[in-house]
């Protein structure tokens, strides 16, 4: 598989992109209050694989 990502930071980057796509799908008008909040929420979702964790 040529699109299989094995570099850790690239895995995280792709995961965060996918998380943002899901956030946009759930609530297209959602905006984060700060960069810290965005990073925290996305990290929690990435770690748990649960979008409901952050109550978006």
Residue 2's pLDDT band (cuts 50, 70, 90): low
What distance lies between CA 51 and its chain's CA centroid?
A: 9
The answer to whether the predicted template modeling score (pTM) of the entire model surpasses 0.95 is no
Answer whether 30's CB lies under 8 Å from 41's CB. no
Q: Where are the domains of the chain?
A: 8-54
pLDDT beyond 60 at 56: no
In angstroms, how far apart are the furthest CA atoms of the chain?
38
pLDDT digits (tens, 9 = 90+) for 19-54: 999 999 989 999 999 999 999 999 999 999 888 766
What residues contact residue 14 under an 8 Å CB cut-off, 6+ apart?
Answer: 5
What whole-number distance in Å separates Cα of residue 53 and Cα of residue 44? 7
């Amino acid at each position: 598989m040529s699109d299989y990502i094995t570099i850790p930071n690239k895995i995280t980057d792709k995961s965060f992109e996918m998380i943002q796509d899901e956030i946009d799908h759930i609530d297209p008008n959602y905006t984060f209050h700060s960069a810290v909040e965005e990073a925290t929420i996305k990290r929690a979702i990435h770690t748990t694989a649960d979008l409901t964790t952050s109550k978006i």
